[in-house]
Amino acid sequence: MHRILGFLLVSFVLWYPLQAQKEDASIIRTYDVPQSRQGVAVDSLHFYVINNSSITKHQKSDGNLVGTWEDEDSILHHLNSGTIINGKLYVVNSNYPDFPMASSIEIFDPGTLKHIDNHSFGILNGSATWMDDYDGYMFVAFAHYTGRGSEPGKTNAWTRLVKFDRQWRQVESWVFPKELITRYESKSSSGGVILQDGKILCTGHDNFEVYLLEFPKKGYSLNWMATIPVGSYGQGIAYEIKEGKEYIYGIIKKENKVVVTKIKY
């Protein structure tokens, strides 16, 4: 069941430099966080900031820090994004920029931030960057890059979205539209969610926008339907809906900001 989360938006905080960067994005709130490197996940009361080897938990009401986790074993070096699924925090991990590319899913208790489980893909499909659940299946984006982090003979055109069953068996996969890959420049798809209607919202790496995609009725490539301005760029995103209004949580890592944007399409 996809997450339909309610929350009360208070103390609308508008940050002028963000508006100047994307004047047509409906930014409704920003939070200052100790560090924001990779992405953000949300539940009904909290948001979780994903960093390379740490996670911080914050109250939505005021942004206060209420929990932290760090990989004291120094095993995880490039956590990418996170999402809440069935009461657990799933965080995507990769060995970027090393190759051959290897990835895993690290699972946490969002209440305590205790690490509780792991699924290793090993060397499979590319570098995992984001995941979501939809219609009883797990969907994982595996990135490729052009330049740093790329594997010999491959470019970011090899990026794909893969569908797994609950036993992590691959069912099918899709590539991203060539025009969208061009927009990613040398990077790839860094964040994404699957909506209740089966459409996809995903990010690149550096642009203040998200891309609305749909699964094709024919062929093997996702269809690019629209580009939606937001107040955060690339990296991992989270999605919420309240009373028919939709919100994207994203980060600006240079400013250590979590940004909430009301979207429409």
Give this prediction's pTM. 0.90
β-sheet bridge partners, residue 94 = 103
pLDDT of residue 149: 83
Q: Check: CB of residue 161 under 8 Å from CB of residue 170.
A: no
Which residues 6+ apart lie within 8 Å of 209 measured at CB?
22, 203, 227, 228, 229, 230, 233
d(CA 159, CA 62): 37
Q: Check: CB of residue 258 under 8 Å from CB of residue 41.
A: no
Model confidence pLDDT, tens digit, residues 36-57: 999 999 999 999 999 999 999 9
Q: What single DSSP character describes residue 235? A: S
Q: What single DSSP character describes residue 114? A: E
CA angle 125, 127, 129 (to 5 degrees): 115
Could you give the domains of the chain?
16-263 (2.115.10.20)
Model confidence pLDDT, tens digit, residues 226-259: 999 999 988 999 999 987 889 999 999 999 999 9
In this structure, what token pair is assigned to residue 163? 């569908």
d(CA 61, CA 48): 13
The percentage of the chain sitting over the pLDDT mark of 90, rounded to a whole number, equals 83
Model confidence pLDDT, tens digit, residues 120-160: 999 999 999 999 999 999 999 999 999 888 888 899 999 99
Mean pLDDT of 88-104: 96
